Amino acid sequence: MSQKRYKILAVEQENSFTKTLTLDCNDAVMPGQFYMVWVPGVGQKPFSVSGAKPLQFSIADVGPVSKEIDSKKPGDYLWLTGPYGNTFKLNGKKAVMIGGGYGTGPMRYLCMLAVQNGITPNLVIGARSKDRLMKHPASVKTFLCTDDGSEGRKGFVTDALAEILKNEKIDAIYACGPEKMMQAIGKAAKGQGIFCQLLLERYMKCGFGMCGQCSCGESLICVDGPVYGLEILDNPEFGKFHRDASGRKVNL
Ligand SMILES: Cc1cc2nc3c(=O)[nH]c(=O)nc-3n(C[C@H](O)[C@H](O)[C@H](O)COP(=O)(O)OP(=O)(O)OC[C@H]3O[C@@H](n4cnc5c(N)ncnc54)[C@H](O)[C@@H]3O)c2cc1C
């Protein structure tokens, strides 16, 4: 797959440390898919698509590559390889999409596709505090949760999910965020027999199955995922261990 250079058309501040970049790229990409984004002289990292036609990424400034992307302005360029990865499967009539931190990007995009497909979505967005919450579309019923209670419900996204499941018949649950959060969501969905898909994001170097950095047990997230069904709950590494930059297995 060859690398291409794309111009940045717009940069929108989502919160104090996350920006959404719109690129001059009209690839037909779906939520779940990702690109390897290269910043010359700094490095290459995977980023989930948070919108398409034109392509969007929502990127949190946490380290060298993301910081460099965060400093980009409209008219600057990014180098992309992709798209890679599988996509979500929309299912039923009513759904819940749950995003933790920057994981809200692909969930927000999935919500908009659900609406276009006649599915009623509930969007749940979680963050540590108000200044880390991502924006949400006014047209979608949204539940905000913060760990410190500075905005929305004080507590975890799983509390909001439990409330929704008590009040509505939900056909499908989708989530992207920290693995422990997705593990709890997956268990709740399994307990109630609800279709569920989870988008995993692990440290990744190549994006096409060579480096093994993103492995989760016997699965490679870049080629087998990043979207998984509830079978991931039986993976012995899911929600427990990942690999750090050096490839060492560490506790999550
Ligand atoms: C499929 C996939 C999709 C992704 N999509 C997005 C996205 O849409 N938006 C976004 O902001 N980031 C996303 N990431 C994470 C992103 O690829 C980078 O890991 C992140 O930007 C940090 O890179 P860095 O070079 O800036 O900092 P680094 O020095 O690599 O990391 C800074 C800190 O973040 C931790 N970290 C890095 N990557 C991960 C990870 N995947 N999970 C947990 N902790 C991590 C490191 O341990 C370190 O503590 C995605 C990752 C994957 C695998």
Does domain 4-84 match CATH 3.40.640.10?
A: no
- Give the domain ranges of the chain: 4-84, 94-251
pLDDT at position 1 is 74
pLDDT at position 136 is 92
SS3 letters across the chain:
CCCEEEEEEEEEEEECCEEEEEECCCCCCCECEEEEEEECCCEEEEEEEEECCCCEEEEECCCHHHHHHHCCCCCCEEEEEEEECCCCCCCCCEEEEEEEHHHHHHHHHHHHHHHHCCCEEEEEEEECCHHHCCCCCCCCEEEEEECCCCCCEECCHHHHHHHHHHHCCCCEEEEECCHHHHHHHHHHHHHCCCEEEEECCCCCCCCCCCCCCCEECCEEHHHHCCEECHHHHHCCCCCCEEECCCCCEEEC
pLDDT at position 80 is 98
**Atom nearest to 222 CA in ligand 1:** 1
Does domain 94-251 match CATH 3.40.50.80?
A: yes
pLDDT above 80 for 205: yes
Fold match between domain 4-84 and domain 94-251: no
Q: Given pLDDT bands bounded at 50, 70 and 90, which one contains residue 33? A: very high
| Cα-to-centroid distance, 116 and ligand 1 (Å) | 30
Q: Given pLDDT bands bounded at 50, 70 and 90, which one contains residue 14? A: very high
pLDDT at position 95 is 98
Q: Given pLDDT bands bounded at 50, 70 and 90, which one contains residue 15? A: very high
pLDDT at position 67 is 96
Residues with CB under 6 A from ligand 1: 34, 43, 45-48, 57-60, 62-67, 102, 105, 201-204, 214, 226, 244
| Cα-to-centroid distance, 63 and ligand 1 (Å) | 8
**Atom nearest to 199 CA in ligand 1:** 1
pLDDT above 90 for 252: no
Which pTM was predicted? 0.95
pLDDT at position 39 is 95
